[in-house]
């Protein structure tokens, strides 16, 4: 399939590369020159605007920071909407507010463009490996048309319901991940203050009920104080804010989510917004005046 791809960041670039590896033709945005040049060297074509991309392809995929960027690419000047025609499909794989996905869908539907919201989970390592989890909202027939394409970047592709459903599932995912990171941070700081090696505690609990994909992926980063971003604190703040906004709209209180959001916000105020979200442990270390860092112990 000929695919347009917009958003060649930490997640988007490896996803685009995996689409090329799967044999798809790609037209990518040249907004990020270095990333576009890298994709071009692998066989992708480039274009300057979302409209120019959409004019050439059957499917447009976006992987962008938040709702305003997706709205601009889809509906703004030189946006996808200006190349609207029956049969064009738009799949937004960004993590945005469910209501924003619904509004963009409705505007494009009026022009004959089908849309799915299909956010991903797994971070940079799984984007590179092509083993992401994808949560998809939208018309089932449209989903069936592109499911094979999504398989090129993921090992799990699940249709969860109508438009906006994908982002609702992603918000649920981000709540679970954030609270797991907070729980692991609390536990490792407790171990250190109690005089027990946090690394040994991880080894002791990871095969029991406390074990999780989050613990396996993030505890080693906490112990090494390696906060090179696979998923930045700033982006998790965005997701939790979208979760709280949605919770207020539907009447589902999220007190634990609100607490973790404030922890992330405190770290952002201290200049850590670019750290991986495993850097949340630094909030607890500051409170306890200690470190779980193996090298510093």
Burial of 56-89, coded b for 16+ CB within 10 Å and e otherwise, reads ebbbbbbbbbbbebbbebbbbebbbbbbbeeebb
Backbone angles phi and psi of 206, in degrees to 5: -70, -20
Residue 26, beta-bridge partner list? 3
Q: Phi/psi zone of residue 246: left (φ > 0), alpha (ψ -120 to 50 degrees), beta?
A: alpha
Q: Do the Cβ atoms of 51 and 83 come closer than 8 Å?
A: yes
Q: Do the Cβ atoms of 92 and 117 come closer than 8 Å?
A: yes
Residues 6 or more apart in contact with residue 71 via CB below 8 angstroms? 100, 103, 104
Burial of 26-55, coded b for 16+ CB within 10 Å and e otherwise, reads bbbbbebeebbebbeeeebbbbebbbbbbb
- Residue 170, classified by CB atoms within 10 Å of its CB into exposed (0-12), middle (13-18) or buried (19+), is buried
In whole angstroms, give the CA distance from residue 19 to residue 81: 24
Among all chains, which residue has been given the structure tokens 């509004």? 103
Active-site positions?
Answer: 170
């Amino acid at each position: 399939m000929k695919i347009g791809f917009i958003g060649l960041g930490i997640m988007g670039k490896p996803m685009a590369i995996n689409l090329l590896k799967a044999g798809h033709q790609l037209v990518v945005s040249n907004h990020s020159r270095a990333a576009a040049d890298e994709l071009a060297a692998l066989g992708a074509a480039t274009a300057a605007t979302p409209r120019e991309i959409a004019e050439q392809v059957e499917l447009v995929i976006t992987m962008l920071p938040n709702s305003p960027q997706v709205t601009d690419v889809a509906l703004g000047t030189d946006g996808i909407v200006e190349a609207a025609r029956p049969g064009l499909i738009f799949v937004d794989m960004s993590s945005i507010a469910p209501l924003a996905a619904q509004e963009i869908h409705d505007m494009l539907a009026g022009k004959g463009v089908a849309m799915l919201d299909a956010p991903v989970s797994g971070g940079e390592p799984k984007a590179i490996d092509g083993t992401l989890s994808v949560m998809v909202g939208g018309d089932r027939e449209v989903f069936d048309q592109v499911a094979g394409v999504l398989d090129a970047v993921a090992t799990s592709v699940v249709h969860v319901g109508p438009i906006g459903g994908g982002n609702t599932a992603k918000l649920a995912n981000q709540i679970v991940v954030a609270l797991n990171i907070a729980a692991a941070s609390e536990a490792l700081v407790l171990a250190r203050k109690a005089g027990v090696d946090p690394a040994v505690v991880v080894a002791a609990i990871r095969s029991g009920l406390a074990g999780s994909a989050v613990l396996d992926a993030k505890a080693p980063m906490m112990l090494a104080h390696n906060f090179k971003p696979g998923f930045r604190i700033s982006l998790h703040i965005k997701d939790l804010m979208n979760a709280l906004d949605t919770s207020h709209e539907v009447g589902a209180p999220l007190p634990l989510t609100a607490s973790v959001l404030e922890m992330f916000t405190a770290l952002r105020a201290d200049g850590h917004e670019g750290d991986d979200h495993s850097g949340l442990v630094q909030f607890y270390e500051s409170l306890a005046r200690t470190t779980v860092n193996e090298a510093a112990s």
